[in-house]
């Protein structure tokens, strides 16, 4: 076979929008319906063509790796997960917010309970897969050991073990988007949203434009993880003090300790406070969103670092946001409109201490009906020297601080390290 013929053969794929593939008996999804049986399971497994009621598939961006495993012949495309013993270590919810079709639009609140809630459907052969998983973990962090050494934290044998490890419950959440709800959140029409999603992914999911009857999309993006310190049920109790940080991924700082930004110090400070709050009878929550480099990605981020450090006059707080916009087209692609969904899923109604200086995050959280009592900015002694540019620029741009805000003139004097320095 010639290469062209071979491609033609492999290319013979029947699109799900094909008239023979619009099945009449697909389980209906009634988003926001109180009874999960009436709400219906989300079926996004690709092996179940006749019952699929969602666009896209499981595992977010990793779906592409699964495709490569199948292509290599290492993975059975019809594999069905054996869900025995996979159920949550702690039951989350259900909370009132789960029954409001507008409070949660970017995850499936029943996605962590499919093993029990949709047991019958699974036994009947429907390939329903969890989109949420809850487990337990211990965190071992040098910053926490240091906090114990300096006397800021004390092991209690419960939240913090005698050797300084922190006990947590962690929840992994895959994105499940209810498109009419997402459109409403973004102030656009569902049709317009579908068209733009289709176009900007290079036409990845034709059903976005050909199957308006399918309302749910599992987008190929990163997941979210919630780390809970203390009793998860207390998150929904407004009388229990809650310390919370909503953190957007920054691999360079979070994992590798790069000193150009405050991400890891702010994150570990949030963890320290979350653990301390839990020790004092409260509850702590860290939510980690996979939105690397202000959701622009690391390549863009590193290009911006170079542009910042090579500009005339050096890297200065006065030009911090301008450089990103020049390279990326926007200064920040992280819209925060969907972020509060995970808080709603956990039943949060009141945050006593919010660890974030971002007004976008604050506005999104309070806009979703959650009360915020105190806003906590990063303590000055935790800011790396080269990250002064970032923090001063953010404060001058209106980010929350209880400290001093520099004017245009003094911003120019906040200088970062040059390349090769
Ligand atoms: Zn960072």
Please give the Cα distance from 151 to 374 (Å, whole number). 24
The alpha carbon torsion through 370, 374, 378, 379 (nearest 10 deg) reads -170
Q: Which residues, at least 6 apart from 17, have a Cβ–Cβ distance to it below 8 Å?
A: 206, 207, 210, 211
pLDDT of residue 156: 97
Q: What is the pLDDT of residues 176-199, one digit of tens each?
A: 999 999 999 999 999 999 999 999
Distance (angstroms) between ligand 1 centre and the Cα of 262 equals 6
Residues 342, 134: Cα–Cα separation, whole Å: 13
User: What is the whole-number distance in angstroms between the Cα of residue 253 and the centre of ligand 1?
Assistant: 5
Structure tokens at 79: 């594999």
Distance 248 CA to ligand 1 centre (A): 9
User: What is the number of alpha carbons within 13 Å of residue 50 lying toward its C-beta?
Assistant: 3
How far away, in angstroms, is 263 Cα from ligand 1 center? 4
Distance 123 CA to ligand 1 centre (A): 46
Q: What is the whole-number distance in angstroms between the Cα of residue 276 and the centre of ligand 1?
A: 24
* CA neighbor of 223 nearest in space, from 388, 112, 96, 75: 112
Q: Of 88, 144, 92, which is closest to residue 279 (Cα–Cα)? A: 144
For ligand 1, the distance from its centroid to the CA atom of residue 209, given in whole angstroms, is 36
Strands 242-248 and 216-218: unpaired
CB atoms within 10 A of CB 302: 13
Q: What is the 3-state secondary structure (H, E, C) of the chain?
A: CCHHHHHHHHCCCCCCCCHHHCCCCCCCCCCCCCCHHHHCCCCCCCCCCCCCCEEECCCHHHHHHHHHHHHCCCCCCCCCCCCCCCCCCCCCCCCHHHHCCCCCCCCCHHHHCHHHHCHHHHHCCCCCCCCEEEEEEEECCHHHHHHHHCCCCCCCCCCECCCCCEEEEEEEECCCEEHHHHHHHCCCCHHHHHHHHHHHCCCCCCHHHHCCCCCEEECCCCCEEEEEECCHHHHHCCCCCEEEEEEECCHHHHCCCCCCCCHHHHHHHHHHHHHHHHHCCCEEEEEEECCHHHHCCHHHHHHHHHHHHHCCCCCEHHHHHHHHHHHHCCCCCCCCCCCHHHHHHCCCCEEEEEECCCHHHHHHHHHCCCEEEEEECCCHHHCCHHHHHHHHHHHHCCCCCCCCCCCHHHHHCCECCCCCC
Q: pLDDT tens digits for the chain (421 residues)?
A: 566 656 555 556 655 655 566 667 789 999 999 999 999 999 999 887 889 999 999 999 899 998 899 899 888 877 888 999 999 999 999 999 999 999 999 999 999 999 999 999 999 999 999 999 999 999 999 999 999 999 999 999 999 999 999 999 999 999 999 999 999 999 999 999 999 999 999 999 999 999 999 999 999 999 999 999 999 999 999 999 999 999 999 999 999 999 988 999 999 999 999 999 999 999 999 999 998 877 888 998 899 889 888 888 888 888 888 887 888 887 776 779 999 999 999 999 999 999 999 999 999 999 999 999 999 998 888 888 888 888 888 888 888 888 888 888 888 888 888 887 7
Which tokens go with 293? 């480099």
Question: Whole-model pTM?
Answer: 0.92
**Other residues' Cβ atoms within 10 Å of the Cβ of residue 240:** 18
pLDDT digit string (tens) for 105-125?
Answer: 999 999 999 999 999 999 999
Which residues are known catalytic residues? 332, 334
Give the orientation angle of helix 388-396 with respect to helix 320-328, to 10 degrees. Answer: 90
- How far is ligand 1, taken at its centre, from the CA of residue 384, in Å? 11
How much distance in Å is there from the Cα of 119 to the middle of ligand 1? 42
Q: Are 327 and 338 in contact (CB under 8 A)?
A: no
């Amino acid at each position: 076979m010639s290469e062209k013929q071979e491609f033609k053969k492999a290319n013979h794929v029947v699109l799900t929008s094909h008239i023979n593939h619009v099945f009449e008996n697909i389980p209906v999804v009634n988003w926001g319906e109180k009874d999960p049986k009436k709400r219906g399971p989300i079926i996004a497994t690709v092996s179940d063509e006749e019952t699929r009621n969602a666009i896209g598939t499981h595992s977010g961006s990793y779906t592409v790796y699964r495709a490569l495993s199948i292509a290599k012949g290492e993975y059975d495309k019809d594999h069905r997960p054996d869900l025995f013993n996979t159920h949550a270590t702690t039951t989350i919810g259900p909370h009132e917010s789960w029954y409001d079709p507008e409070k949660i639009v970017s995850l499936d609140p029943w996605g962590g309970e499919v093993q029990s809630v949709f047991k019958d459907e699974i036994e009947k052969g429907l390939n329903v897969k969890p989109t949420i998983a809850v487990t337990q973990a211990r965190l071992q962090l040098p910053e926490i050991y240091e906090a114990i050494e300096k006397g800021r934290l004390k092991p209690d044998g419960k939240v913090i073990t005698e050797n300084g490890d922190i006990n947590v419950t962690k929840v992994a959440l895959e994105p499940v988007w209810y498109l009419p709800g997402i459109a409403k959140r973004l102030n656009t029409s569902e049709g317009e949203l579908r068209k733009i999603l289709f176009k900007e992914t290079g036409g990845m999911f034709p059903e976005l434009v050909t199957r308006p009857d399918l309302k749910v999309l599992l987008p190929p993006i990163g997941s979210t993880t919630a780390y809970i310190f203390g009793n998860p049920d207390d998150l929904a109790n407004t009388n229990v003090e809650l310390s919370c940080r909503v953190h957007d991924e920054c691999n360079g700082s979070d994992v590798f300790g790069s000193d150009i930004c405050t991400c890891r110090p702010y994150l570990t400070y949030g963890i320290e406070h979350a653990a301390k709050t839990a020790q004092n009878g409260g509850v702590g929550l860290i939510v980690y969103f996979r939105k690397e480099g202000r959701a622009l990605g690391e390549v863009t981020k590193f290009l911006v670092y170079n542009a910042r450090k090579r500009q005339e006059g050096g890297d200065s707080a006065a030009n911090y946001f301008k450089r990103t916009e020049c390279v990326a087209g926007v200064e920040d692609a992280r819209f925060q409109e969907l972020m509060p969904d995970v808080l709603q899923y956990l039943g949060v109604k009141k945050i006593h201490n919010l660890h974030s200086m971002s007004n976008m995050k604050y506005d999104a959280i309070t806009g979703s009906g959650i009360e915020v009592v105190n806003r906590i900015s990063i303590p000055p002694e935790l800011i790396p020297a080269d990250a002064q540019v970032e923090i001063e620029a953010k404060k001058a741009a209106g980010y929350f601080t209880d400290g001093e805000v520099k004017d245009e003139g003094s911003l120019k004097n906040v200088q970062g390290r040059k390349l090769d320095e």
